[in-house]
Structure 1
Amino acid sequence: MQISKNRHVSQMLGLLMNSKDVITVPEFQKHLAISRRTVYYSIAKINTFLNQEGIDTVSSIKNLGFYLSEQSRKELQNIENKNRENTNEDLFNFSKEQRIKTIIWSLINNDKISLTTIETTFNVSRNTADNDFKHVNLLMAQCGLKLITSHEGHKIIGPEIKKRNWVYEHFLNEDPILFSLLTSSVNPSPDINIFLKEFEKMTGNFFTDDAFVYLSAYLSWYLNRIKDSTNRLANTHTIPSNLLALEWAQKFLFKHCIVNLGEAGYLIDLVHSSQFVKANSEYGGIQEILPIAKKIIFRFNRATGVELKLDSLQVNLATHLLAAYYRIKFGISYKNSNLNTIKNKYSELFSFTKFAVKPFEQFVKKTIPDDEIALIALYFGGELKAIEDQNLNQDQVSVMIVCSSGIGTSRILKQQLTEKFPGISFSEPFNTFTYENSSLKGIKLIISTIDIPRKGQTNMVKVAAIPNEQDWKNIENALQKAGLIEFNERLNVEGLLDIISEYARIEDPINLKKSLKKYLELQGTTNVSKKNNMSLDEIFTKQNITFADHVDNFKQALSLAFDPLVKNHSIEKTYIDKIIQLTQLHGPYMLIENDVLLAHAKAIDGVNKTGFSFLLLKKPVVLFEKNQRFLEKKIRIIIGFSTIDTTSHLKTLGEVMKLLQNKDLMGEIRSSNSKYDLLKNHS
């Protein structure tokens, strides 16, 4: 009797109905190949069903086992008989989708079905029956099968594998109609669960609970089907390479009096297409996928700017990819019920995963369906959250730093913040992707160089990568509001004047106040020597320095600035397009001084190698036109850079920051009238 989607529950009820004696827990375990915990779980489910039906529940005898009273068994038998009588009445209420699946199931199982059969079975009109067959024909064509009509009725023809795939796919996606149809047409074999457990023991690969359920159901149908030799695959002399799995498959088939290498190979592929909760990294099937998983993780890291460690992730990802490989290889469609949620709520995660799986697509030589990509994205999402939460907790970070890419300018910002506020723990820079996938646990303030969506109630402050005086005031106020610094923690000019006046006569209070203010400002910023350690051409190289009297617009200026990096193949032209897109989206966040733009994007956007370029415009160009949503900004200097990772550019970028903070040197650079002046005076 089918009372639950979980086959163990229904199978246990069947054993209890057919036994007048007490059944012990070990006997249940042996018959159904289940754990002790599953026995008690299933008994609880059975009792829930019996209570709903007003039948006495399963009796338990301490230290012995379980049994059903004779009265309970009679009442259950009556329910089962009544269900059989009402089968056709139940079919009368089937929806179109349920009718279609039932028709296909019957046709695949070699039942001859006519229009009259559909009319009487489902109590529908002839026109509805005809439309149902048309829909079946369409679906079968998509599966590589064909619906034909003969004098005996309709039937499906085509490769046996295609027919099996349709059935397996619906069990895989936990289709309740097929589970119900299976129960009414096939007697379950307890040997199946035993053999699945034996596979786990032999290989060290353990199925998920869901995989165990749908495999058990499908194999019940499969064994019933291949009793008819005409439904068997052709025997072959080719021996599958996985000898351990082959031993298991042959033993399984031999138990049912079948010796066929073609079917053994099919069984091996079948179990490998099922999801494992734990896999043996030394197992043959996994070994081939492990290098692919490694490449995928590296691509994901490169695209996102995060550093996911291989360790267990490589094995877990390879375990999943093994099942995905066989599903894709044999055209078995997996439907992810959370696909739209993942694509909409975690769009960046989905996009990065789609980029990362290219090595797997090359391996299977097919495009990976979005449903499969969504599953893989969950692995990365879970790993990201675990790592970020661990890092935030471990370092007791109070303030998170966010920028568009998590590289470059934000690291300089962290350095300045740490020097100004040494008692506060600041995070490593987060890009927008890692920020959106972080829990913000323990974070009291977010300092960002770009506009980002607010998460929860955490305070936020937006500043330039090199904060100006107002930015520093905003940061200090935000830190005070978050309770990270006291209001009287920082020295102030008025307080110092009060202290000095108590012990000395102040002759010129106005100029003293100015001097103290200048002194405190210098103490609060990075100490930069007026003489830069590196010359302009040492930072950028002569070939990468450009001068222009004027340009027509910002896009032209950006192309001119990056032209040296395009010519030496550091970047592709798509990199420039991405910077324009980012600027239009986030505003002037790359503007690090009044007229200096530090232009950059991510490695994924067209970077071949790390490089820097410098453009000086004699006449400034407007960054935004007046009709755009950002205020217009005029720029004269564009410093362009590309980086293949999160570290290789940092030393040079540090020298760039020193250059920008040297006001005298920057004044001389701005006064140059040609590239010759630039190189002559600053080389």
Structure 2
Amino acid sequence: MKTFTSAILTLAGVQNIHPVIFGGQQMINYTNVKHGNDLINFLVNKDDYASLDELESQLGLSRRGIFYILKKINTSLSDDKLDNILNIAGVGYFIPDETKKTLLNNYSGTQPVTEQFTKRQRCQLITWQLINHHPVSLTQLAKHFDVSKHTAISDLNNVKNTLTSHGLDVVQTATGKILSGFEISQRNWVLEALNDRDSILYSQIDINPSRLIAINTEIHKLEKITGNYFTDDALSTLDEFILWFLERIKDPDNQLPDSPLRTTNVDSMSINWSIKFLSDNNVHNFSESYFLGRIINTSQFYRVNRADGLIQRIFPISREIVDRFNAVSGANVSPDKLELTLSTHLLSTFYRSKFMIPYHHPNLEQITEGFRELFAFTKYAIRPFEKFINGHLSDDEIALIALYFGGELRSIESRRGEQPDVLVVCSSGIGTSYILQQQLAQRYPNIEFSQPLSVFQFKNQDLANIKLIISTIKLSTDSGIPMVNVSPLPSKHDWGVIGKALINAHLSDDNFNEASVNALIDVISNYARIENFDGLTDALRGYLNQRSKPLNQKRTSQNGLTSLQKLLPIEHIVYATRLSSWQHAIEQTMMPLQNENIVKPAYAQQIIRLTNTNGPYMVLGNGIMLAHATPNDGVLDLGMSLLLVKQPLSIITPGHPNVDNITIVIGLAPLDQTSHLSALSQLMKKIQNPIWVSRMKQSQSADDISRLLAQP
């Protein structure tokens, strides 16, 4: 077993502390990123360009590993004011002459440098050490990460808290702190870490190219057997996880206790594949076959076998989820468009729930805060699926599903008939790609960005009139169109790269706005202490960009998302003791909006027609109806209204046996798919509180209702 010192040196990428000879020349020691110096020296000593295939072959690394190392090295080069390693499309990678000269003069034969890991990276590396059975101590952590003992204590406490949530514990022994807990829990942590494409673990797994190719080939065989195909990111994660997994279970102590095989109709094909795959790798353990089959099924798919019995059961549930989302949000998402995409996602969600493999979204806080309206509506919409799995989804799972609705809403809102200026390509699926696309649209509202494209979609895309490609994955194209590569969640450096690329493509006058931002910050700093410089910068940049955004053709008194208090003043509240029918209730609900010329008289009649045709689908439950139609049905401005009738009204429609009683009708006049979501989500939080609804129904006037609405 390695000592901790040798292990942590390996973690830091320090393979040999003495100068190494490469092709008769001294090695350059510029970075401690694992394999980083190998890559630099290969490029320095190569007379011409190096293709990606050459780098993979020479270094024995995966494509993802190469990209990770290039990103880390280029970040260091930028910090040192050196030109980055460049890639010429269709030719290959090279180090610019000035950079090469500096590296040879200053870093040839020098001692390796110490990398400054982030806290998150340090904690992942510590956990990786523990899982791979290397004891750790505070003194060693402080020394080898070059941090204070206080920082080492903080890191270790963070590790303990994270591992506790996985059912694991860090215990003290005579040789140092070690990990205690179930083997499966340790493996699940590794899989979760690898699901983050920027995880430092990708630089720690020793890559055997021939084995990696063999694993990838076998997974593709499984795809053909099941008809379910994995996303690019899921496939890459599976490749490297299985590579690590096979190495780990060479030690019998790391294998699960063998037990009789347990299969069901929904996982038999993957289990049978796992049995053969492990047998070919000299592992004959049914428990391990069962484990691997479960992991395979919980990975994200991009295409599924529509004839599969399970997916056939999920399809109608997806449609019901979309209907519920539309009913509660006032949106008009087409079930036909989202059914397949959502069902494809829910298939892996089903397996994660069935096999109790938790999913942790690395950007949960950003999603729940930045897209809280979507999150609230999705949490209501997914109840049919929760009933199907007989359980509740975690907030992480709900956040991921919410982004599917967000992507579809954004698609509906995109300008019709216009060719995008910029293509956005993302390999990680709709979740993070939606965040990237939303941030691009918010920062640059006058630029038309495409919906996120997969690599397959990109290869089949018409590139006519495209001025720039923004991608989270390296793409091979001879189009001649400028391309920038960024993280799905761009860093400050990434935003700088994007801004320069947009200026070079003549799509943005960012220089003017940046100058204005800097001037405003200078003024603000004279009168107030700036606590969050980056947040203020982003807010000012967004404001200046938004000022030049064309006005909506329909008039509206509010820009962007609007609060509940502004959309639902007391003048829009109707109180009634008794009404003749549910149709009359809808007409009365819309009357305040009609009187203020927010909707046309035909709008209420369209809602009545929709209810007669489709049944009481707008009833949310608990006697509450969200009455709405589409913006094209007579909406002139954004607005909301509310009616409370003391005597319940029954909604009876021809051809629909369900009878729903209503006492509260919320009237919604949406201008588009999104501008009303903030106010509506505020109201949704209230009406999901049974105590608040009970008080609402006991109200005796519009004033009472208004006061309830104003309560936090």
Normalised to the residue count of structure 1, the TM-score between the two structures is 0.50
- Residue 135 of structure 2, aligned match among 103, 108, 112: 112
SS in 2 for 1:371: helix
2:287 alignment partner in structure 1? 262
Q: Does the CA-based 8 Å contact 1:189-1:220 persist in structure 2?
A: no
Superposition deviation, residue 231 in structure 1: 0.9
- Residue 172 of structure 1, aligned match among 164, 182, 195: 195
- Residue 553 of structure 2, aligned match among 435, 444, 450: 444
Superposition RMSD on alpha carbons, in Å?
A: 6.1
Matched, 1:296 2:321: yes
1:215 alignment partner in structure 2? 238
Q: Distance in 1 between matches of 2:167 and 2:326?
A: 39
Superposition deviation, residue 377 in structure 1: 1.6
Matched, 1:334 2:334: no
Superposition deviation, residue 107 in structure 1: 1.0
Q: Does the CA-based 8 Å contact 1:7-1:213 persist in structure 2?
A: no
SS in 1 for 2:647: helix
Superposition deviation, residue 387 in structure 1: 4.8
Q: Distance in 1 between matches of 2:119 and 2:109?
A: 27
Q: Does the CA-based 8 Å contact 1:233-1:262 persist in structure 2?
A: yes
Question: What are the residue-to-residue correspondences of 1:27-42 with 2, within 5 Å?
Answer: none
Q: 1:297-326: per-residue Cα shift (whole Å, max 9, x none)?
A: 343344345564444522211211223334
Superposition deviation, residue 115 in structure 1: 3.8
Q: Does the CA-based 8 Å contact 1:147-1:155 persist in structure 2?
A: yes
1:349 partner amino acid: L
Q: Distance in 1 between matches of 2:369 and 2:308?
A: 37
Superposition deviation, residue 472 in structure 1: 8.9
Q: Distance in 1 between matches of 2:194 and 2:276?
A: 24
The verdict on how the C-alpha distance between 1:13 and 1:253 changes in structure 2, with shifts beyond 3 A counting, is farther
Superposition deviation, residue 227 in structure 1: 1.8
Q: Distance in 1 between matches of 2:407 and 2:286?
A: 40
Q: Distance in 1 between matches of 2:131 and 2:44?
A: 32
Q: Does the CA-based 8 Å contact 2:136-2:176 persist in structure 1?
A: yes
1:561 alignment partner in structure 2? 647
Superposition deviation, residue 229 in structure 1: 1.8
2:344 partner amino acid: T
Superposition deviation, residue 110 in structure 1: 0.5
Q: Distance in 2 between matches of 1:229 and 1:59?
A: 45
Question: What are the residue-to-residue correspondences of 1:291-440 with 2, within 5 Å?
Answer: 291-304=316-329, 308-328=333-353, 329-337=355-363, 339-340=364-365, 342-344=367-369, 346-387=371-412
Normalised to the residue count of structure 2, the TM-score between the two structures is 0.48
1:195 alignment partner in structure 2? 215
The verdict on how the C-alpha distance between 1:244 and 1:312 changes in structure 2, with shifts beyond 3 A counting, is farther
Q: Does the CA-based 8 Å contact 1:393-1:442 persist in structure 2?
A: no
Superposition deviation, residue 193 in structure 1: 4.5
SS in 2 for 1:156: strand
Q: 1:172-210: per-residue Cα shift (whole Å, max 9, x none)?
A: 123533234x15xx2444433453354245244333333
Superposition deviation, residue 474 in structure 1: 6.5
Q: Does the CA-based 8 Å contact 2:328-2:377 persist in structure 1?
A: yes
- Residue 250 of structure 2, aligned match among 198, 202, 227: 227
The verdict on how the C-alpha distance between 1:95 and 1:59 changes in structure 2, with shifts beyond 3 A counting, is closer
The verdict on how the C-alpha distance between 1:59 and 1:291 changes in structure 2, with shifts beyond 3 A counting, is closer
Q: Distance in 1 between matches of 2:84 and 2:591?
A: 79
1:153 partner amino acid: G
Residue ranges of structure 1 left out of the alignment (5+ in a row)? 395-439, 480-523, 527-556, 587-600, 607-620, 631-683
SS in 2 for 1:333: coil
Q: Distance in 1 between matches of 2:186 and 2:252?
A: 15
Q: Distance in 1 between matches of 2:176 and 2:65?
A: 46
The verdict on how the C-alpha distance between 1:47 and 1:628 changes in structure 2, with shifts beyond 3 A counting, is closer
Q: Does the CA-based 8 Å contact 1:296-1:357 persist in structure 2?
A: yes
Q: Does the CA-based 8 Å contact 2:61-2:207 persist in structure 1?
A: no
The verdict on how the C-alpha distance between 1:116 and 1:265 changes in structure 2, with shifts beyond 3 A counting, is same
2:299 partner amino acid: S
Superposition deviation, residue 108 in structure 1: 0.9
SS in 2 for 1:174: coil
Superposition deviation, residue 16 in structure 1: 8.3
Superposition deviation, residue 147 in structure 1: 1.9
- Residue 249 of structure 1, aligned match among 250, 254, 274: 274
Question: What are the residue-to-residue correspondences of 1:437-586 with 2, within 5 Å?
Answer: 444-445=553-554, 558=644, 560-562=646-648, 571=660, 576=663, 578-579=664-665
Q: Does the CA-based 8 Å contact 1:112-1:155 persist in structure 2?
A: yes
SS in 2 for 1:192: helix
Q: Does the CA-based 8 Å contact 2:215-2:243 persist in structure 1?
A: no
Q: Distance in 2 between matches of 1:18 and 1:327?
A: 48
Q: Does the CA-based 8 Å contact 1:23-1:66 persist in structure 2?
A: yes
Q: Distance in 2 between matches of 1:469 and 1:144?
A: 56
1:543 alignment partner in structure 2? none
The verdict on how the C-alpha distance between 1:345 and 1:149 changes in structure 2, with shifts beyond 3 A counting, is closer
SS in 2 for 1:277: strand
Q: Distance in 1 between matches of 2:141 and 2:414?
A: 57
The verdict on how the C-alpha distance between 1:344 and 1:26 changes in structure 2, with shifts beyond 3 A counting, is closer
Q: Distance in 1 between matches of 2:394 and 2:321?
A: 16
Q: Distance in 2 between matches of 1:124 and 1:237?
A: 49
Q: Does the CA-based 8 Å contact 1:350-1:377 persist in structure 2?
A: yes
- Residue 163 of structure 1, aligned match among 183, 186, 192: 186
Q: Distance in 2 between matches of 1:331 and 1:160?
A: 13
Q: Does the CA-based 8 Å contact 1:31-1:190 persist in structure 2?
A: no
Q: Does the CA-based 8 Å contact 1:94-1:122 persist in structure 2?
A: yes
Superposition deviation, residue 139 in structure 1: 3.0
1:445 partner amino acid: K
2:384 partner amino acid: P
Q: Distance in 2 between matches of 1:125 and 1:469?
A: 65
Q: 1:74-108: per-residue Cα shift (whole Å, max 9, x none)?
A: x89x979868x44xx33xx4455443332221111
1:377 partner amino acid: A
Question: What are the residue-to-residue correspondences of 1:116-135 with 2, within 5 Å?
Answer: 116-123=139-146, 129=152, 132-135=155-158
Aligned sequence identity (%): 29
Q: Does the CA-based 8 Å contact 1:8-1:42 persist in structure 2?
A: no
Q: Distance in 1 between matches of 2:360 and 2:122?
A: 21
Question: What are the residue-to-residue correspondences of 1:595-610 with 2, within 5 Å?
Answer: none
- Residue 136 of structure 1, aligned match among 145, 148, 159: 159
Q: Is the radius of gyration larger for structure 1 or structure 2?
A: 1
Q: Does the CA-based 8 Å contact 2:303-2:344 persist in structure 1?
A: yes
Q: Does the CA-based 8 Å contact 2:135-2:178 persist in structure 1?
A: yes
Q: Distance in 2 between matches of 1:359 and 1:387?
A: 25
SS in 2 for 1:445: coil
Q: Does the CA-based 8 Å contact 1:336-1:375 persist in structure 2?
A: no
Q: Does the CA-based 8 Å contact 1:58-1:67 persist in structure 2?
A: yes
Superposition deviation, residue 11 in structure 1: 10
The verdict on how the C-alpha distance between 1:67 and 1:626 changes in structure 2, with shifts beyond 3 A counting, is closer
Q: Distance in 1 between matches of 2:217 and 2:38?
A: 17
1:370 partner amino acid: D
Superposition deviation, residue 163 in structure 1: 0.5
Residue ranges of structure 2 left out of the alignment (5+ in a row)? 1-12, 15-29, 419-548, 573-586, 604-642, 670-682, 689-699
2:345 partner amino acid: H
Q: Distance in 2 between matches of 1:23 and 1:113?
A: 40
Q: Does the CA-based 8 Å contact 2:57-2:209 persist in structure 1?
A: no
